[in-house]
Chain A
Amino acid sequence: MNFVTPEIAWAPLTPILIVLGAAAAAVLIEAFIKTPATRRLVQLTVTIGALAVALGMVVVQWVGLGDSAGTVVMTGKITVDAQSLAWQAMLLVFGILAALLFAARTADGEESFTSLGSVPPGSTEERLARRAGLQVTEVYALLLFAVGGMMLFTCITDLIFLFVALELFSLPLYIMVALARRRRLLSQEAALKYFLLGAFSSAIYLFGAALVYGSTTQIDMESIGIAIDFIPSNDAMLLAGAVMVVVGLMFKIGAVPFHSWVPDVYQGAPTPVTAFMGAATKAAATAALVRVMYLAFYPLEWELSWMFWAVAIASMVVGTVVALVQTDVKRMLAYSAVAHAGFILVAFAGLTPEALTALPFYLLTYGLATIGSFAVISQVRERAEDGGVAAEAVRLGQWAGLGRRSPLLAGAMALFLLSFAGIPLTAGFIGKFEVFSAAVAGGAWPLVLIAVLASAVAAFFYVRLIVLMFFTDVPEGAQDTVAVENDLLTRIVIIVTAAATVLLGIVPSGVLNVLQDAAVFLVSAG
């Protein structure tokens, strides 16, 4: 056996290298800057700077693409093509918005993250750490690692390296979930659940990839797609492997029956982290699932379609029905996220080329509304007995009369909810329309029928919250129990996401045209 040095075209990886390099630098900053306040400022600047520069590099590459579909960075391992650049740009935007939310503070100067993650909640050490003004600024480094891993996740064409990237973005998320400042027991419990189920799903994914390797002798997606044509499609090992790979990715998307972590993690995690992972994890996992299905498993489309149908229907029905009975805002949005996972999977019916445009657009509109709505949630707080600001007010009843307290927040929240529901003139409508037409083009009209019905039912619980905010009076004697925060960074995020949601709903053609150009995969193997 002789070893051939692989040829690597580094240039297209620049954005990813910038983000991961900044992450490594952020770890060093942790070690060298002692004062928490300075460190926070430096970390925030480095994080947003790196993400913005990387976004610029992605745009430069996109412009430089011209008519070519992209570059094969390393044969069979990494391919940066138009589709992957579109996802990378989206993830970077989500990352910048999330970084702003991470830095947000309440009027009392309180951050969303605990002052020291290792001390037990309610202990003397915790009080000491808080008094010393400690801050967990590592979250910025973790955010950069997560974004870098997700960007890598969208351009890898090899099942095993996909696993490495999967863990690269999952591990920082597990830690960030455990770092909430308020309700820390809840946060740690959510982290444990997320970790165990996430590791379980990665193991299923990995075993599936190993079985696919065993049955096709190939590990890069294009060669797998070619090799599958030469083996009987009822090969049990191949089918088991393909199903396990898809199950592993569906876990990350949060589709039923692999959704059990979603509500707990959405509820327990610090709200900025929920906003980030709700938007970005779904986008990254969808991007990888698209690549796996279109490059590797398209010859198995018929064999796997039953699974996509069953999971999509189950997600839409369970997500919608369970969301109806929730009394916690974050949990309600979590089940709405499960239903949206179903809508995402609808687009996979038939593996049409239309879905390659529809999915990035859907995930963009969904992600913006998710970040925006959780940003609003982080601003609605309970008032402590001493008059200070306490934890977030997440019970539905506490949102009564928010429209009078803060028309801006309530209006933005209403906009995001309408976008989730897919009401015309919001971005969510165009997203749903694109996804459903892709599925119809794939001949899956019964699936689309169910999806439209589920959307109609889902509109009920979104509208219920809107009614609660605008048309319900604050209960007698409860006027002073809720405080509305007025943090500048969070306001910026809310305004940007709200504006984008409206713009994409009224004039989506610009972005849609760009994404139409992105609907190509670079296929290198002959």
Chain B
Amino acid sequence: MTAMSFVYLAAILFAIGAAAVLLRRNAIVAFMGVELMLNAANLVLVAFSRMYGELDGQIMAFFVMVVAAAEVVVGLAIIIALFRARQTISLDEPAELKG
């Protein structure tokens, strides 16, 4: 099993995440898709870091994890505020903005 296999795996995870964002109508599931995409990028960074025998990629993965955590905080706050107002988190339901 070479490090390149992990890159292919990451590409698949990224595609699944992107599909979830674009296709699923539940805000939480779409949000999980974004997180999957970020983690796929982390996997690529770590895999290449391993392949080249240096630490750069792994250090970057740490930065990405911290940023992703901050993003979760903001994202969930917005989703909860919206849920309190509407009692639903469907992305189809809010339809005030059109055109």
Contact = CB atoms under 8 A, between A and B. Distances in A.
A264 B97 contact: yes
Given A210-B45, A213-B57, A167 B71 contact: yes
B57 to A, nearest CB: 6
A86 to B, nearest CB: 27
A267 B67 CA distance: 28
B22 to A, nearest CB: 8
Nearest to A268: B97
B23 interface: no
A185 interface: yes
Contacts of B18: 200, 203-204
A196 interface: yes
Contacts of B94: 185, 189, 192
Interface in B51-68: 51-52, 54-57, 60, 63-64, 67
A191 B45 contact: no
Interface in A304-333: 326, 331
B17 A219 contact: no
Nearest to B89: A192
Interface string A199-219: 110111011011101100101
B31 A196 contact: yes
B78 A206 contact: no
A445 interface: no
Contact of A188 (B7, B54, B71, B81): B81
A174 B63 contact: no
A470 interface: no
A478 B99 CA distance: 27
Interface string B58-86: 00100110010011001101110110111
Nearest to A172: B74
B71 to A, nearest CB: 6
Nearest to A218: B56
A364 to B, nearest CB: 30
Contact of A160 (B47, B55, B60, B86): B60
A191 B55 contact: no
A320 to B, nearest CB: 15
A161 B63 contact: yes
Interface in A174-200: 174-175, 178, 184-186, 188-193, 195-196, 199-200
B75 A206 contact: no
A171 B97 contact: no
A117 interface: yes
Contacts of A190: 97
Contact of B45 (A192, A199, A213): A213
A206 B38 contact: yes
A443 interface: no
A263 interface: yes
B71 A199 contact: yes
A425 interface: no
Which 8 A-B residue pairings sit nearest by Cβ, starting from the closest? A203-B37, A210-B44, A189-B94, A214-B48, A206-B41, A264-B97, A160-B60, A207-B41
Interface of A: 1, 117-121, 160-161, 163-164, 167, 171, 174-175, 178, 184-186, 188-193, 195-196, 199-200, 202-204, 206-207, 209-211, 213-214, 217, 219, 263-264, 267-268, 326, 331
20 contacts: A1-B54, A117-B81, A118-B84, A161-B63, A167-B70, A174-B74, A174-B78, A175-B77, A178-B78, A184-B85, A185-B85, A185-B94, A185-B96, A191-B82, A196-B30, A206-B37, A207-B41, A213-B48, A214-B7, A331-B99
